[in-house]
Every structure is written in structure tokens, then in C-alpha cells.
Structure 1
Amino acid sequence: MVQDRKPNRLRVLHGQAPRTAPMAGGPLGTPDPPDWLPETAQEEWQRVVEACAAHPTWLQHGDVAILTAYVATWATWLEAAQDVARRGALVPGRSSADDDDGEGGRRLVKNPAVQIARDAATQLRALCRELGFSPDARRRVDVGALEDDNDADPGRLLS
């Protein structure tokens, strides 16, 4: 049976040196998002970077690509989810095969945004785990000490 690795806080309590993860290019700081990202992705970038600022070693320069993928996927999911909320899970078909539903109208088909939202949500879960944004992932990531004593809560990442 494989035993879970002891978190750094327990290692220190037991008189052991804390494990240190290799720095991927050093702390990220508070960079601006790439200009080509949609506005909703840029807003999510700012929110995440600000939330992680209390733990300056959380995001590293090597995390820029995965953070960019996360916020781009977030924007895709948000747009698709809003479309499903606005138009519903079923929409009138657009092909000639959907011309007649037996009552003189268009046959209803699955809204393509449902699948887009589902695929994006799956990808978001994986990216959140990689970045330590879920409660379980945060438990496994050593995010370093808080920068100040304001009791900032890393759990607000997903609020």
C-alpha cells in the first residue's frame, strides 16, 4: 500500500525539513493576461492572479501556459453555459431534415453548446487540479506561506 506523502506542516511539526518544490522560473507576480484572450478570460486571469498573490510562490513563470489554457477554457465554458441558459438544451434544427416536426415547425435538436460546455467543464477540472484550484488539489500543493498576516483564504479562488 502506498502511503501519502506527509504535508510540509506536519514535517516541520515532527522536526523534519520541509520539502521544497523546484521553482519553475520563479514566482509569477502579477502579470497582465495575453491581449488575444477574450474579455471574460482576461477578467478570470486577473481574479486568479489576485487571489494567488497572498501566496507568492503559488503561481510560477512556468505556469503561464497552463494558466492561459485555464482562463481560455473558462471563457469557452462560460459562453457555452450562457447559451444553454438562454436558449435551452434543445433548439430548433437548421438542416432540411429538421424542417417538419409533424406540426409544421422545426424539429428540436440538442443544443451544440451543451456538448461544448460539457467538454470545457471536463478540461477545467483537469486544469484546476494542475493549478491547485480545487480543495483536494490545494491539499496536495505546498503554496508557501502567506505574504502578509491578513488570513487570506486560497479557497476564494473558486468563489
Structure 2
Amino acid sequence: MSENGKVTYKVPSWLDNMAKTEWKRVLPLIDHDTFSEVDLKALEAYCQAYAKWKRSETILMKKGYTFETPNGYVQQRPEVSIAKDAFASMQTIAKELGFTPASRIRMDKNRGEGNGRGDETDPEMEDMIVK
């Protein structure tokens, strides 16, 4: 627990530096009311996919999307596929962790209307239960 009463999660040592930086950036943004230890592997995978995507995109910005083979053929760089796959993984995991606006709306609907913290009441339901 941290001093504010929230659970803190240590950055996994096996993540590379770029993934660790992303971990530190997104962890404070996570809804800790719903996040738990079972979500840690998904967060690790998200951060590593982010690092892979960013590295690939950096190479593509420097070297372009294609290269010429020794035989003179123009070929797509491997980083194009790596970036595409890493980004697809990031998107999938981001939705699961509630990082996208649409996934947060869906999570809020599943919890009930309101601010998404699960502490709102539905007056109609309350009338049915109380009576």
C-alpha cells in the first residue's frame, strides 16, 4: 500500500527501459478500484508491446518503410509488420484495461450509470429493493 491507501505495483524488472517508462506513465491513470493483481500480466504485455511499437516506428521514421535488397528489389522493412502487430496487441490490451474512451464507457455501463466508480444508485431499482 502507498501512503494514500492505494495498492502500488512495482515495475517488473524484466521489462526493458522503454516499457518501464510506459508502465510508470500509465499506472497512475488506471482505475485502481477495478485493477488488481490478475491484471498485472496484461499491463506488462501492454507496456512491452508499446516499447516494441515505438522502437519499430522510430526505425521506420529514420529508414523508411522499404529497403532495396542486394538484387535490386524493393522490399518492405520487417519493422512495418512488427509495428503493426505490436500496435494491434496494444489496442486489444488497452481495451481490456480500460485505456480507451469506448472501453471506459462500456465499463461504466456494466457498473451502472454515473461516474463509473460503482457507488451510484438507480432510484427505480432502489424503490424495488426497499419496498
Larger helix fraction of residues: 2
1:42 aligns with 2:20: yes
Mind listing any 5+ residue stretches in structure 1 that lack a counterpart?
Answer: 1-26, 102-106, 146-159
TM-score by length of 1: 0.61
* 1: CA distance, partners of 2:82 / 2:66: 14
Aligned to 1:113: 79
The alpha carbon displacement at 1:141 in A equals 1.5
Aligned to 1:75: 51
- Relative to structure 1, the CA distance from residue 46 to residue 128 in structure 2 (aligned partners, 3 Å threshold; closer, same or farther) is same
TM-score by length of 2: 0.73
**Which aligned pairs between 1:90-109 and structure 2 lie closer than 5 A?**
90-93=66-69, 98-99=70-71, 101=72, 107-109=73-75
C-alpha RMSD over aligned residues:
2.0
State, as a whole percentage, how many aligned pairs show the same letter: 28
Q: Which is bigger in relative contact order (C-alpha 8 A, separation at least 6)? A: 1
Point out 4+ residue stretches in structure 1 off by more than 3 angstroms: none
State the number of aligned residues: 107
SS in 2 for 1:32: coil
